[in-house]
Amino acid sequence: MANTTKSAKYVYQFGNRKADGNGSMKPLLGGKGANLAEMTRIGLPVPPGFTITTEVCTYYYDNKRTYPKALQPQVEAGIRQMEKIMGTKFGDAKAMPLLVAVRSGARDSMPGMMDTILNLGLNDQSVLALAKATKNDRFAWDCYRRFIQMYGDVVMGVQKAPHEDHEPFETVIGELKEERYHDHDLEDTRLSTEDLKELVGRFKKLIKQRTGKEFPNDPWDQLKGAVGAVFGSWMNDRAIVYRRKYGIPQEWGTAVNVQAMVFGNTGDNSGSGVAFTRDPATGEKVFYGEFLINAQGEDVVAGVRTPEPVQKLPSHLPAAYKELENIRKTLETHFKDMQDFEFTIQDGKVFMLQTRNGKRTGLAAVRIACEMVKEKVIDWKTAVNRVPAEQLEQVLAPIFDRTALKNTKVIAKGLPAGPGAATGQIYFNADRAVQAAEKKEKVLLVRIETSPEDLRGMIAAEGILTARGGVSSHAALVARQMGKVCVCGASALHIDYNKRTLEVGGQTFKEGDFLSINGTSGEVYAGEVRTAASEVVQVLIERSLKSKDSQTYQYYAQLMDWCVKATRLLVRTNADTPEQTANAVAFGASGIGLCRTEHMFFEGDRIDAMREMILAETTDSRKNALAKLLPYQREDFTGIFKALKGLPATIRFLDPPLHEFLPHDNAAQSQLAEKLNVSVEKVSKRVHDLHEFNPMLGHRGCRLGIAYPEISEMQARAIFEAAAEVQKEGLKAKPEIMIPLVGFPKELQLQLEIVHRVAEEVAKEKKTKFNYLVGTMIEIPRACVVADDIAKDAQFFSFGTNDLTQTTLGMSRDDSGSFLPAYQEAEIVKKNPFASIDQGGVGKLMQTAVELGRKTRPDIKLGICGEHGGDPESVKFCHTLGLTYVSCSPFRVPVARLAAAQAALKDEAVKTKK
Ligand code: ADP
Ligand code: MG
Ligand code: MG
């Protein structure tokens, strides 16, 4: 199917087992277009059509919303080709007309973001031709009213205003049903031909009223308008919100697919459906999906009618079901991944309209990856890459506490659409849900059905509950992708948007009341229900479940085993207590990357000794107070060393400014004065003296140890005495002492002297030897720039990326909330730099420090201990920098391990390519 024009190729045709494009061309053809071409090539029944490339979208926005000249003739050629294959004419007014679907298709699927227009080419004349050719008046008029509705909405902009709860066209339909049948909820299939004709008239009137424009009658005008609307929708609010959330670059653009229509609404031998080759919620290898008899595809996802599960299809259309089962197998063997596909059955014949790799829950992702390896469909490396690191968190997410559940009543049941347990206050509208979430309420968004306008509310909510719609409804799709708990189609719920109430089984719930939903079973409960740990946590941490009794755990463990095979970058944890340490070790941490000693001073009466130390006026009295703290610290470290079972622990010396430990109100100050037997004036004066204008840049970090060496001395002693104690029991201890906030080499040298001296003293006293390192935290730009000098003394660097980000950007993390959203909106920063490393700035400094550090000390140990250690993208960046380890909170360890393994596999792939 060579294109005859010499200019750039903007249109790629597919049909009759041949296609210009193929599945690998997603950047150019979009995901939908590329896979339509691929399915055509492998002989699946795909209606013919063509794809207008994403380059046209880019051109469109670069050129004031105009098209390249060469486009129009290529589109005309595309339509001619379709006419030839179908044996019909576009918009024919005499014989069976060729009608088309105009479908958007970005590179990555963006569910619900861009709208599809079906039945294009119909007008007052061709509708009659369609009726005559199919001998089916009702069908023809049903197509026509659907077309006007979609076109009016998507192209002409007749949409729900923010204050309205229903689509204007649906309101018109509802009114007609009320008028003629006194039944607002009458099924659409029960509308007569006369009703549909009436609707066509009313729809056109509505469009005229709202836009001042006539509905276009000419099919070519219709096509132009529809293509323009698809490109235009790339920049609508919903699409922008979605792209921002998922980090999809604007430059990618969308493609447009124009495809011959097939009809699922010709009668009871026809239908439409959506299916998955495996269960996307659990990952189980079963044919999973749903369909509607006598319906066009939009009905299935719109949640207007609740579809039937695909297992019921054999009783309606057994031959079509058999064909679909075969297609299901073909798809998996060919695409080697779980597929999410859309089909339409016209008079018993199956047509494929779309396929893509199916979105799945974290649970399903892990299971499918493992099972596909067992089935020899993919290898283990592919399996590791198949689970998005972020999604692994879902596998660790809480479930409802079983005993708490026993005392609660199920008030309704819907479809399990997004697994997990969620409890929250209910809101019936996205805006109010967002407002409540901003006030730190836990929110459940409850809607009759959701639409893309609800996206912000869905993001803000803990969980989503709908009264209508199936497992492929908008709510379910979005929830699955965001990893939100979701129950949909709980039809027993009667939601009144006006009264803001939900009524079920005689009980009424108001906005703000608590409900709980189980997205794994589909159950809805009244009130708050306590949640419990996931099975993986029950096996590893709580040890309340045996590994052999949990399939989920076994898949998780398999995945983690593969990660070990691939990984180079190690994952440590940020932990301050033996318990946290033990948890992290259970999750596979290879040590502690950051142990913050200050947290240890807040417990029980330790704070008194700490305060006494701070209030001390002489070195001697300070030493006295410190001596009281020593046993506490030693005990903490002993516990941590034991929990580590010989793994290394990076322990940071005292870091925060001292005033953080003192009471600031009068009552607490006089209480303290009494306790320590000093005057209130003395306490309040000391608090006053310690006040700083900018504590983040004040007397903290190693500056404390420089001014009060005896603090460092006590901490060093506690660490080594603990190590000695543990070693006496035959265990190993590997302390790595970390000096914070170093900018000058001399700062480190002074602290180093203390550490080495104390180590020697304790070794002599306890007649033992220590295996330890001393290094520094790299968290201010100066340290990065003079890293070669610092490395003369430091045996390791650990990037404190929280402070390094603050000091490099000159932005306080705690104050950034007021301007960062605007920065993200304006795309000054792509991501929050406190959540994901600012690779272009902070990352450059890190790289400088790595290079300089290695120049002086080639084998220097390198790590990172900021919040960023749990962010998959930052983990991958650290791998690229060649760090030894990242460190993150215990429950993020599995996520970081997976991200580290994926980074290593990517490296390997790049190397073998070269
Ligand atoms: P989305 O990207 O939102 O899934 P699609 O372009 O896939 O949008 O279209 C939505 C639905 O419209 C499909 O699921 C299908 O049922 C119906 N549809 C799309 N193209 C055709 C076609 N050529 N013939 C019949 N129905 C179609
Ligand atoms: Mg689709
Ligand atoms: Mg710091």
The pLDDT of residue 866 is: 81
Q: 10 Å Cβ neighbour count for 65?
A: 12
Is residue 256 a contact partner of residue 103, using CB atoms and an 8 Å limit? yes
Question: Would the pLDDT of 112 be above 70?
Answer: no
Pocket test for ligand 1, best of 90, 147, 149, 354 (most atoms within 8 A of CB): 354
Q: Letter for the amino acid at 803?
A: D
- The CA distance from 424 to 404, in Å, is 16
The pLDDT of residue 4 is: 44
Q: Which candidate, 111, 122, 113, 98, places its Cα nearest to that of 49?
A: 98
**How much is the average pLDDT of 216-225?**
96
Confidence at 855, pLDDT banded by 50, 70, 90: very high
| End-to-end CA separation in angstroms for the chain | 34
What radius of gyration do the chain's Cα atoms show? Answer: 32
Question: Would the pLDDT of 731 be above 50?
Answer: yes
Q: Whose CA is nearest to atom 24 of ligand 1?
A: 261
**Residue 421 neighbours by CB under 8 Å, 6+ apart:** 397, 398, 399, 400, 485, 516, 517, 518, 519, 520, 529, 531, 532
Q: Which residue reads 């698809």 in tokens?
A: 230
> For the stretch 408-424, what's the b/e string if a residue is b when 16 or more beta carbons lie within 10 angstroms of its beta carbon?
beebbbbbbbbbbbbbb
Number of helices and strands in the chain (H, E)? 36, 34
Pocket test for ligand 1, best of 258, 294, 344 (most atoms within 8 A of CB): 344
Q: Tens of pLDDT along 578-602?
A: 998 999 999 999 999 999 988 788 7
Q: Which candidate, 367, 752, 299, places its Cα nearest to that of 554?
A: 367
Mean pLDDT across the chain: 92
**Residue 894 neighbours by CB under 8 Å, 6+ apart:** 392, 395, 396, 556, 560, 587, 588
Question: Would the pLDDT of 634 be above 50?
Answer: yes
The alpha-helical segments, DSSP class H, found in 375-460 are 380-386, 392-395, 402-406, 430-438, 455-460
The pLDDT of residue 265 is: 87
- The CA distance from 687 to 662, in Å, is 7
The pLDDT of residue 160 is: 85
Q: Tens of pLDDT along 340-385?
A: 999 999 999 999 999 999 989 888 999 999 999 999 999 999 999 9
Higher pLDDT, 588 or 297: 588
Centre of ligand 1 from the C-alpha of residue 435, in Å: 35
Percentage of the chain exceeding pLDDT 90: 73
**How much is the average pLDDT of 710-719?**
97
Question: Would the pLDDT of 261 be above 50?
Answer: yes
Centre of ligand 3 from the C-alpha of residue 587, in Å: 25
Least confident among 74-78, 133-137, 240-244: 240-244
Q: Tell if the pTM clears 0.75, that is, is over it.
A: yes
Q: Tens of pLDDT along 638-686?
A: 999 999 999 999 999 999 999 888 888 888 899 889 988 889 998 999 8
Confidence at 914, pLDDT banded by 50, 70, 90: low
Is residue 767 exposed (0-12), middle (13-18) or buried (19+ Cβ within 10 Å)?
exposed
- The CA distance from 370 to 164, in Å, is 47
Q: Which candidate, 149, 144, 145, 147, places its Cα nearest to that of 159?
A: 149
- The CA distance from 586 to 645, in Å, is 11
The residues facing 516 across adjacent strands are 423, 525
Centre of ligand 1 from the C-alpha of residue 784, in Å: 54
Ligand 1, CB within 6 Å, residue ranges: 47, 101, 103, 116, 118, 259-262, 272, 296-298, 342, 344, 353-354
Q: Tens of pLDDT along 51-87?
A: 999 999 999 999 999 999 999 999 999 999 999 999 9
> Helices 801-809 and 842-856, interaxial angle, to 10°?
120
The pLDDT of residue 913 is: 62
Residue 825 host element (H or E): helix 820-825
